[in-house]
Amino acid sequence: MTREELRTMAMKEQEKRAAFRCRLLVCYSSPCLSSGAEAVYKALLAAVQERNLDAEVDVTRTGCVGPCSRGPLVTVRRQGCEDVIYQHVTPEFVVQILEKHVLENEPLMENVLPGDLPFFAKQLKVVLANSASLDPESLESYVSMGGFTALAKVLEEMTPEQVVEEIKKSGLRGRGGGGFPTGLKWDLVRKALGEKKYIVANGDEGDPGAYMDRTTMESDPFLVLEGMAIAAYAVGADQGYFYVRAEYPLAAERLAKAIKKAEKAEILGNRIFGSSFNFRVDIRLGAGAFVCGEETGLLTSIMGRRGQPYPRPPFPANSGLWGSPTLINNVETFGNIAPIINRGGDWYAGIGTEKSKGTKIFALAGEINNTGLIEVPMGITLREVVYEIGGGIPGGAGFKAAQTGGPSGGCIPADYLDTPIDYENLAALGSIMGSGGLVIMNDRSCMVDVARFFMDFCRDESCGKCIPCRVGTSQMLGLLEKICNGSAVMEDLEKLRELAEMVQETSLCGLGFTSPNPTLSTLRYFRDEYESHIRDRKCPVGVCVMNEVPLRELVAELPRRIRAGAKSSLPGKGR
């Protein structure tokens, strides 16, 4: 493939598309699929064929549109008209859309997503810019939207140094959660000594409550591959690994297809775009271990071993896969690369706040009206996200907290709704940016129970290599369970805080030293709830079942229980 051929391919596809009278785009990402998008697509396809409209009406399966709670979504795109998005589409309704809106040009009134919905108006899409209009399984579709032009540009016009400079200029920071400057990381790997270098895309999105990477992989797999290829050129690597969670079979399937198609078109493989640059990508499936999202854990997992992290230094930039310099970036980070190259680092640096540039994808979930996937500029406030994009809390309930960063993050209370979201501000609030899960809780959530939930998760997922994490999480969970079942005393709170700080300081990897975050942040902002659990033996929202007593009161309690004929008079392990 040459640059000229790429242009021809794009033009051909654009012409093909322009020939259609109307295009119907069916969202085919996981959330819409689980609400029945497949049946809708089949019904639509059958209806189009029945009416012999194949040449006039195009039916395309696309990536994620965004408002997942309103799926299945179907977009009607006519030339010269604004897009109309229908929500909660059923196989019967989609035929109506075809008959009325497409054939008679009378848009239906029901189930239309309002065009001026703040959900869309407040967003700024860079990574997901094309996801709602392209077919993730078609190379032509990606190329027609300017795909692989960045890679071609890099290979023909730029030196690796210039690429790294451009990324540095953009101010892009790692989207996996840590926020390490991407350009700096690339520079480290580029300068590292080693004949063989590797690129790794981290698609092991283990954070419960987050699905940005899944959607990026499912909606625009070529974009991520292009980002990887540019990174490979910049650091001098010729082999890439794409590490995908086993829980995301659709993402893995689409990536595998994308790699195959790109290889066939000679966009991946040897002598890409006629240059001397070679790059191959292989997929590695995870097997359900949260700790493999940690970079050193992920590297050991790619090498087929137990995914246990190892101490750094040496950093993967110097000694990663099989001892060779390895560049490891999150999927979303790679998704940002092609737009930066195409539009320039300065353009990207113009978005966001002083220290956090660009946009960030968040998965909005929990007790909120519009759940779904959003891409917003850094520096947007939590209030805008919750009340404008998210449409507020359902059922008139009050906002209690926003949980960011999953088990490594914290809970942000209502007082801080006006804080601009960026790496520094979230860290100052005791949370982290994380990969971008944003779970909203209303006043029916017990914060102690939430802390217990995350601690249970971390204890379960601790790899067991270092003692602070293995034993510490277990002990902290014990204390939290005591608080939840009513057998804790006031001293336990101090013990919990001390233990949390110790684990934070002494653990080996990211999982360990961030695992106390949910506990510490809830202790900081919702201490009264903890105290009410202990002092009054009462869960303020009535979630926890408080059927135990503190050990020192057991002497008085036991005879009463025996008299009452309780089956088990001894305190159990709680829930």
| Residues in contact with other proteins by the rule CB under 8 A | 30-31, 33-39, 68-69, 71, 205-211, 214, 244, 246-250, 252-253, 255-256, 259-260, 282-290, 301-308, 363-367, 371-373, 403, 406, 437, 439-441, 445, 450, 453-454, 457, 461, 463
Q: Which is nearer to other proteins, 41 or 530 (CB)?
A: 41
Cβ neighbours, 10 Å, residue 8: 12
Please compute, for residue 430, the number of CA atoms within 13 A of its CA located in the half-sphere on the CB side: 22
Q: CB of residue 259 vs other proteins: minimum separation in angstroms?
A: 7
The number of residues in the chain equals: 575
DSSP3 helix / strand / coil % (the chain, rounded to 5): 50, 15, 35
Cβ neighbours, 10 Å, residue 249: 12
Q: Which is nearer to other proteins, 35 or 133 (CB)?
A: 35
- How far is CA 571 from each of CA 486, 533, 540, 574, rounded to the nearest angstrom? 11, 17, 22, 8
Q: Are 201 and 230 in contact (CB under 8 A)?
A: no
Q: CB of residue 437 vs other proteins: minimum separation in angstroms?
A: 7
Strand partners, 269: 279
Among 365, 533, 535, residue whose Cα is nearest residue 448: 533
What does the alpha-carbon distance between residue 228 and residue 258 come to, in Å, rounded to a whole number? 13
Q: CB of residue 551 vs other proteins: minimum separation in angstroms?
A: 26
Q: CB of residue 269 vs other proteins: minimum separation in angstroms?
A: 14
Q: CB of residue 414 vs other proteins: minimum separation in angstroms?
A: 16
DSSP string spanning 164-188? HHHHHHHT-B-TTTT--BHHHHHHH
What does the alpha-carbon distance between residue 381 and residue 364 come to, in Å, rounded to a whole number? 14
Q: Which is nearer to other proteins, 102 or 113 (CB)?
A: 113
Q: CB of residue 495 vs other proteins: minimum separation in angstroms?
A: 25
Q: CB of residue 367 vs other proteins: minimum separation in angstroms?
A: 6
The tokens for 153 are 């540009």
Q: Which is nearer to other proteins, 89 or 158 (CB)?
A: 89
What does the alpha-carbon distance between residue 29 and residue 373 come to, in Å, rounded to a whole number? 11
Supply angle C-alpha 452, 458, 461, rounded to 5: 140
Among 297, 296, 279, residue whose Cα is nearest residue 288: 297
Q: CB of residue 39 vs other proteins: minimum separation in angstroms?
A: 7
What does the alpha-carbon distance between residue 200 and residue 191 come to, in Å, rounded to a whole number? 17
Q: Which is nearer to other proteins, 365 or 503 (CB)?
A: 365
Q: Which is nearer to other proteins, 284 or 537 (CB)?
A: 284
Strand partners, 77: 23
Q: CB of residue 202 vs other proteins: minimum separation in angstroms?
A: 15
The tokens for 151 are 């890679």
Q: Which is nearer to other proteins, 542 or 559 (CB)?
A: 542
Q: Are 296 and 313 in contact (CB under 8 A)?
A: no
Q: Which is nearer to other proteins, 205 or 422 (CB)?
A: 205
Q: Which is nearer to other proteins, 163 or 225 (CB)?
A: 225
Spatial neighbors of 547 by CB under 8 A, at least 6 apart, are 485, 486
Q: Are 69 and 80 in contact (CB under 8 A)?
A: no
Q: CB of residue 297 vs other proteins: minimum separation in angstroms?
A: 10
User: In 142-301, where do the E strands start and end?
Assistant: 198-203, 239-244, 280-285
Q: CB of residue 514 vs other proteins: minimum separation in angstroms?
A: 15
Q: Which is nearer to other proteins, 12 or 42 (CB)?
A: 42
Q: Which is nearer to other proteins, 322 or 538 (CB)?
A: 322
